[in-house]
A = this chain, B = another copy of it.
Amino acid sequence: MSAADFANPFLFHGFPMFFASDNWAGAHKSIAERLLTESTGFAAAYGAGDLDRKVEARFSEIFEREVSIFFVATGTAANSLSLASVQRPGGITFCHSEAHVIEDECGAPEFFSGAARLVAVDGEAGKIDPAKLSAKIASFPEDAVHHGRASAVTITQATEIGTVYSLPEIGEIAAISRQRNLPLHMDGARFANALVALGATPAEMTWKRGVDMLSFGGTKNGCWCAEAMVFFNPDQAREMPFIRKRAAQLFSKSRFIAAQFDAYFENGLWLDLARHSNGMADRLRAGIATSNSARLAWPTASNEVFAVVSKSAAKIAEEKGAKFYAWPIPAAMPELVSESETLIRLVTSFATTEADVDGFLKCLAA
């Protein structure tokens, strides 16, 4: 491919190559259309309408048991309020050291929990190391009033760095949590991507492996704004209506969330979108694996790809309009990147096309 190729507008026009984040995409057409259809008519506000009921029942079907569902505005809200609902005074929540809750939520989990602290646990591949979790929990004896009190564990599925906990890995974290009666929360901002990566059912990836609460994200996978807290034991959600309202997260026209989920679940759309998104990441991974100017930084299994790219290739891609973020070098991998390279994150979405991927790969090959 010659420099002239890059100047050819035909080649790149229409290839947005937006890999900055899956939340740079808009909404899937079916979901936006459903909002249009639903916009007429009247319905009880604040989650009391028929469509809210229908979607709640749909969640119970999907998870193969009766669950309690609470819509909220953001993934940060879902994480924060879930964790808040199980906190105790002086509480401690254990999370991975790179988790979204501790890195990217501006203290919201602590704010909503009466200042319960997040304690970071290390682990390879973005996943909590079970032995380190055990040791960290043990450093907070039950009655040590000065240290604070172990109160919850949270994992992210898929993780912040594109990896996925296997079902046994989830079970192992859950078993450790259970020993101290710590509720286990899953941040599922990319739940569907992890699910199709594992080929598991929603039940298998959650309560059947010991997860108590789930932040179920739809926004990153094709909705405009659709996040739900899922409680697998409805008894544990009794305080939540008040926690949510006090947190200013109770929508008046709640059915605008319900309508999105209704379309999202219809005919398995949500899984199709995740499969597409993961497939586009596969295509990226395959292309990068064979590239001369880039290599995969570590294996990933969902819709995120981390690549070490030559600075010159990265520059070309940016000039051609590709959008992506540079990523900090992990403390555990100081040798990952040479002087002439850079570490970048590429995220695919329901809206990513083969042309986007191929356009980006062409930049690497330039």
Instruction: Using A36-B32, A42-B351 as known contacts, say yes or no to A252 and B111 having CB atoms under 8 A apart.
Output: no
Select from chain B the residue with minimum beta-carbon distance to A49: B24
Residue pair A20, B44 in contact (C-beta under 8 Å): yes
Instruction: Using A77-B248, A248-B76 as known contacts, say yes or no to A38 and B26 having CB atoms under 8 A apart.
Output: yes
Contacts of A43 in B (CB 8 A): 24, 26
Residue pair A108, B248 in contact (C-beta under 8 Å): yes
Question: Nearest Cβ in chain B — how far from A324, in angstroms?
Answer: 12
Contacts of A16 in B (CB 8 A): 41-42
Cα A116 to Cα B39 with chains together (Å): 37
Cα A243 to Cα B114 with chains together (Å): 11
Q: Is A23 an interface residue (CB 8 A)?
A: yes
Partner of A32, one of B28, B35, B72: B35
Residue pair A250, B76 in contact (C-beta under 8 Å): yes
1/0 contact string of A248-270 vs chain B (CB within 8 Å)? 11111101100000000000000
Q: Is A33 an interface residue (CB 8 A)?
A: yes
Q: Is A145 an interface residue (CB 8 A)?
A: yes
Residue pair A24, B36 in contact (C-beta under 8 Å): no
Instruction: Using A36-B35, A73-B251, A74-B252 as known contacts, say yes or no to A116 and B112 having CB atoms under 8 A apart.
Output: no
Q: Is A147 an interface residue (CB 8 A)?
A: yes
Q: Is A107 an interface residue (CB 8 A)?
A: yes
Residue pair B18, A42 in contact (C-beta under 8 Å): yes
Q: Is A275 an interface residue (CB 8 A)?
A: no
Cα A225 to Cα B23 with chains together (Å): 18
Partner of A249, one of B28, B73, B107, B220: B73
Residue pair A114, B116 in contact (C-beta under 8 Å): no
1/0 contact string of A264-285 vs chain B (CB within 8 Å)? 0000000000000000000000
Cα A16 to Cα B41 with chains together (Å): 8
Instruction: Using A32-B36, A117-B107 as known contacts, say yes or no to A146 and B245 having CB atoms under 8 A apart.
Output: yes
Contacts of A76 in B (CB 8 A): 245, 248, 250
Instruction: Using A45-B24, A115-B110 as known contacts, say yes or no to A73 and B253 having CB atoms under 8 A apart.
Output: no
Cα A232 to Cα B119 with chains together (Å): 33
Select from chain B the residue with minimum beta-carbon distance to A244: B145
Residue pair B90, A225 in contact (C-beta under 8 Å): no
Q: Is A247 an interface residue (CB 8 A)?
A: yes
Select from chain B the residue with minimum beta-carbon distance to A112: B248
Instruction: Using A33-B36, A108-B247, A252-B220 as known contacts, say yes or no to A145 and B242 having CB atoms under 8 A apart.
Output: yes
Q: Which of A25, A73, A246 has the most CB of B within 10 A?
A: A246
Question: Nearest Cβ in chain B — how far from A233, in angstroms?
Answer: 18
Partner of A80, one of B39, B117, B146, B248: B248
Some 23 contacts from A to B, beta carbons below 8 A apart, are A23-B252, A27-B256, A28-B39, A29-B36, A29-B39, A33-B36, A35-B36, A73-B74, A81-B248, A89-B246, A90-B107, A90-B245, A90-B246, A91-B107, A104-B146, A104-B147, A106-B147, A106-B148, A107-B115, A107-B117, A225-B225, A225-B251, A247-B247
Q: Which positions in A face B, CB cutoff 8 Å? A: 16, 18, 20-21, 23-29, 31-33, 35-36, 38-46, 72-77, 80-81, 88-91, 103-108, 110-118, 143, 145-149, 219-220, 224-225, 239, 241-243, 245-253, 255-256, 323, 351
